[in-house]
């Protein structure tokens, strides 16, 4: 695309407007309580984020044909403003600009304004996030794009202060009406850039090289912080999928440094303020390099993946603190983020009473008054000083030591936590985003099964079963297509690729935990639907949206793994597993082509293609396929699953089964374990230890 997109007069003019205010603000801004003087079209939506804006004086409309038809009929530019309910700076911009009558008048007079919940419509978010990164070189939320009436963006940015936003709006509406041809050319260049970012070139079949494992580790190793954990510098994101790859790399290579990278990070996170020392669960990320001060929102997808990660790390290390983290996080999820229906809510806000973190932080004197005679012991365990470690002298609890406390100290800590949690629970709570997203629920379902495997505790399996039943009842249609979102009895929005891929992976895991073939059958039906409606044979990759969905200005393919694994890498994993479990060569062929297409990315940028790196291991070395048949199959499965074995796929039955790898293996007397690889099985054995020797 042409250079005008980054260097043109429009960008230069707008950057001149906003340059004095581009620094990141650290001042916490208190939101004014909203009034009901105004009501706009968002009042009929179910998204908590959209409903937050339903009483703004801005005439917001939801994403849909009505808004775009209005823009075309009135020849107005369109503001597409994207955020999510737990986003602190989204709240700030709402208070400063969208609740302001002067700003609202400008938007209402000159623009059609659309509000989008990025969690409900990630397809829309992807397109305009690409636009803002092309134009400004960075991204984030709130995301505010100014578009032509056909949806093509002419400018996009993130947070704007009130005066900046007014000037940007006035400049762009003047530009559109006075320099129409230039605006059309500019928009076409940006859209061309969005499409170029999505180019996937099919790669010819080739062997996967074991030497790639060392190369991929080195790509992560050079940027890792071996003192504080995570990638060097700040802010620090947990990045669970990167650490899951490091665990797998350690399994295959016995590289102690790969394991050290994970354990240092997990230990530091647990000691830090990003982990809720009182109530369990993980905040979004740390703004500093020491994991002390988080952005306080708690997202379901982070907690889901971290439950998986800590469970798997426990299987290798047997660290009691990892076990505690999983159980405490599960307790938090049950207490604060589980619907009566068995679904999991999306997020807890960072803010309460308009102040970020207010629900979680303490004053020195407050803690001293609560803990009384225990205060000195408390301050020697936690980072508690009169000066505080957060804004305005407040304290966000973090541990001073990474050492696992002795039994007596653990008892004290538990007593302190119970006392502080009871007091904290009486405070005004952060907002709850109570929509239930299919993809994030599937991540949590998988996390619960990983916890069940690691600890042998069927309580996790019961929670997983309830959640899977919720998904099956409320999110899967008769034709095996999915809804993305559910709230207050309504399921809405067609599912995207991640809804399918994460659900398929979760249902496969549930089958492997229960040997209930109905979950495997449903996983296969979902996979077949995805291949029919999302797959590009020409590219050897899956689109993010279904061919049945209304088209956007570009049809995206999501391939890079970030805080959540990409939908394509997840889909490739799902097909890889299904291909082995069902002996379906077609699934394996598609997964292999996907992995080949992204192999170079995984080699060069492993941290952001970690799920693809994990897939390469499966193609370097054929997996063990362990078939357990007989009335004691579930008991033996539990023993098998307690060990970390990413090279092993388990299936089984307590009776005759028609699954290819189980057919003919059931015997009325005894339970038998068959260890197979590449369609060849060894002699059956009756104990897990014998089977492990065969592996």
**Residues 410/401, Cβ–Cβ less than 8 Å:** no
pLDDT exceeds cutoff 90 at 156? yes
Amino acid 669: pLDDT: 86
Which pTM was predicted? 0.93
Q: Does residue 389 surpass a pLDDT of 80?
A: yes
pLDDT in tens, 104-138: 999 999 999 999 999 999 999 999 999 999 999 88
Band (pLDDT 50/70/90 cuts) for residue 10 is low
Q: How far is C-alpha 676 from the geometric centre of its chain's CA atoms?
A: 34
Q: What burial letters (b/e) apply to 295-313, b meaning 16+ CB within 10 Å?
A: bbbbbbbbbbbbbbbbbbb
pLDDT score recorded for residue 8: 57
Please give the average per-residue pLDDT across 82-94, as a whole number.
Answer: 92
Is the pLDDT confidence value at 582 over 60?
yes
**What does each C-alpha distance from 323 to 228, 383, 481, 662 come to in angstroms?**
21, 23, 36, 34
Tens of pLDDT, residue by residue over 312-357, are: 999 999 999 999 999 999 999 999 999 999 999 999 999 999 899 9
Distance CA(160)–CA(158), nearest Å, equals 7
Name the CA dihedral angle for 123, 539, 562, 319, rounded to a multiple of 10 degrees. Answer: 130
Query: What pLDDT score does 392 carry?
Result: 92
Question: For residue 25, what pLDDT band results from cuts at 50, 70 and 90?
Answer: very low
Average pLDDT of the residues in 645-673? 93
Task: Flag whether pLDDT at 614 surpasses 60.
Answer: yes
Region class of 254: left (phi > 0), else alpha (psi between -120 and 50), else beta: left
pLDDT tier, 429 (very low <50, low <70, confident <90, very high otherwise): very high
Question: Is residue 23 pLDDT above 70, yes or no?
Answer: no
Cβ 352 vs Cβ 431: under 8 Å? yes
**For the chain, which residues make up each domain, given as ranges?**
4-196, 212-351+433-620, 360-426, 624-694
Q: Taking 90 as the threshold, does the pLDDT of residue 648 lie above it?
A: yes
* pLDDT, average across residues 148-167: 96
Q: Which of 10-19, 292-301, 508-517 has the weakest average pLDDT?
A: 10-19
Confidence of residue 462 (pLDDT cuts 50, 70, 90): very high
Looking at residue 2, what is its pLDDT? 36
Return the structure tokens found at 372: 């009384």
Question: Strand ranges (DSSP E) for 380-505?
Answer: 432-433, 436-437, 483-487, 490-494
Q: What is the mean pLDDT of the chain?
A: 93
- For residue 13, the model assigns a pLDDT of 59
Q: Tokens for 94?
A: 């709402």
**In whole angstroms, what is the distance from residue 41 CA to residue 662 CA?**
56
Residue 30 in this model has a pLDDT that exceeds 50: no
**Residue 275 pLDDT:** 98
User: Cα–Cα distance between 161 and 64 in angstroms, integer?
Assistant: 28
CATH 3.40.30.10 for domain 4-196, yes or no, is yes
Distance CA 155, CA 168 (A): 9
Q: Where are the alpha helices (DSSP H) in 535-657?
A: 567-581, 585-597, 599-604, 610-620, 633-641
SS3 labels along 309-352 = HHHHHHHHHCCHHHHHHHHHHHHHHHHHCECCCCCECCEECCEE
Strands (E), 521-561: 535-536, 541-542
Beta strands in 334-418 (DSSP E): 347-348, 351-352, 355-356
190 and 153 Cβ atoms separated by less than 8 Å: yes
Question: Residues in the chain, how many?
Answer: 695
Pick the CATH number of 212-351+433-620 from 1.50.10.10, 3.40.30.10, 3.30.230.10, 3.40.50.720: 1.50.10.10
Average pLDDT over residues 585-589: 97
């Amino acid at each position: 695309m042409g250079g005008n997109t980054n260097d043109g007069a429009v960008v230069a003019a707008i950057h001149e407007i906003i340059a004095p205010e581009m620094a990141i603000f650290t001042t916490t801004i208190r939101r004014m309580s909203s009034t009901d003087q105004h009501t706009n079209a968002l009042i009929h939506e179910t998204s908590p984020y959209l409903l937050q804006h339903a009483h703004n004086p801005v005439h917001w409309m939801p994403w849909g044909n009505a808004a775009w038809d209005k823009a075309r009929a009135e020849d107005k530019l369109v503001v597409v403003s994207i955020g999510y309910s737990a986003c602190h700076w989204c709240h700030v911009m709402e208070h400063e600009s969208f609740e302001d009558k002067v700003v609202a008048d400008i938007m209402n007079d000159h623009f059609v304004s659309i509000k989008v919940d990025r969690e409900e419509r990630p397809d829309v978010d992807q397109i305009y996030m690409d636009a803002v990164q092309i134009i400004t070189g960075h991204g984030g939320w709130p995301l505010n794009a100014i578009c032509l009436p056909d949806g093509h963006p002419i400018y996009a940015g993130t947070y704007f202060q009130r005066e900046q936003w007014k000037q940007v709006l006035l400049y762009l509406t003047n530009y559109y009406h006075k320099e129409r041809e230039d605006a059309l050319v500019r928009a076409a260049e940006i859209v061309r850039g969005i499409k170029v970012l999505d180019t996937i070139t099919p790669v010819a079949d080739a062997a996967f090289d074991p030497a790639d494992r060392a190369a991929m580790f080195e790509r992560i190793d050079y940027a890792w912080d071996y003192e504080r954990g995570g990638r060097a510098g700040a802010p620090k994101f947990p990045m669970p999928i990167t650490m899951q790859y490091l665990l797998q790399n350690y399994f295959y290579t016995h590289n102690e440094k790969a394991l050290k990278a994970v354990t240092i990070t997990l230990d530091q996170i647990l000691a830090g303020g990003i982990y809720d020392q009182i109530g369990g669960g993980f905040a979004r990320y740390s703004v500093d390099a020491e994991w002390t001060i988080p952005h306080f929102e708690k997202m379901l997808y982070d907690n889901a993946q971290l439950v998986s990660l800590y469970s798997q790390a426990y299987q290798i290390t047997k660290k009691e603190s990892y076990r505690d983290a999983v159980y405490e996080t599960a307790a938090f999820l049950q207490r604060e983020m589980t619907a009566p229906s068995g679904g999991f809510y999306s997020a807890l806000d960072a803010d309460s009473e308009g102040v970020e973190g207010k629900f979680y932080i303490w004053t020195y004197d407050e803690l001293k008054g609560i803990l009384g005679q225990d205060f000195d012991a408390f301050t020697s365990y936690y980072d508690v000083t009169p000066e505080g470690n957060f804004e305005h002298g407040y304290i966000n609890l973090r541990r001073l030591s990474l050492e696992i406390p002795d039994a007596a100290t653990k008892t004290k800590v538990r007593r302190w936590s119970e006392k502080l949690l009871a007091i904290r629970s009486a405070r005004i709570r952060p907002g709850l985003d109570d929509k239930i997203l299919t993809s994030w629920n599937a991540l949590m379902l998988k996390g619960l099964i990983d916890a069940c495997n690691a600890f042998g505790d069927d309580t996790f399996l019961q929670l997983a079963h309830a959640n899977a039943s919720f998904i099956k009842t409320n999110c899967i249609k008769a034709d095996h297509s999915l809804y993305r979102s559910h709230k207050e009895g309504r399921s809405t929005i067609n599912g995207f690729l991640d809804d399918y891929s994460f659900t398929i992976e979760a249902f496969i895991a549930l089958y492997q935990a229960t040997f209930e073939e109905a979950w495997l059958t449903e996983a296969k039906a979902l996979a077949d639907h995805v291949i029919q409606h999302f797959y590009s044979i020409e590219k050897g990759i899956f689109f993010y949206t279904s061919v049945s969905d209304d088209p956007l200005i570009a049809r995206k393919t999501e391939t890079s793994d970030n805080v959540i694994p990409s939908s394509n890498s997840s889909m490739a994993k799902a097909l890889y597993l299904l291909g082995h479990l069902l002996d379906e060569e077609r699934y394996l062929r598609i997964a292999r082509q996907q992995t080949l297409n992204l192999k170079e990315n995984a080699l060069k940028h492993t941290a952001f293609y970690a799920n693809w790196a994990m897939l390469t291991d499966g193609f370097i070395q054929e997996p063990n396929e362990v078939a357990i048949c007989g009335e004691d199959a579930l008991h033996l499965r539990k023993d098998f699953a307690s060990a970390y074995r990413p090279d092993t796929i388990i299936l089984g039955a307590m009776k005759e089964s028609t699954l290819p790898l189980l057919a003919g293996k059931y015997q009325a007397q005894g339970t038998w374990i068959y260890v197979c690889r590449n369609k060849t099985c060894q002699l059956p054995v009756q104990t897990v230890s014998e089977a492990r020797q065969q592996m």
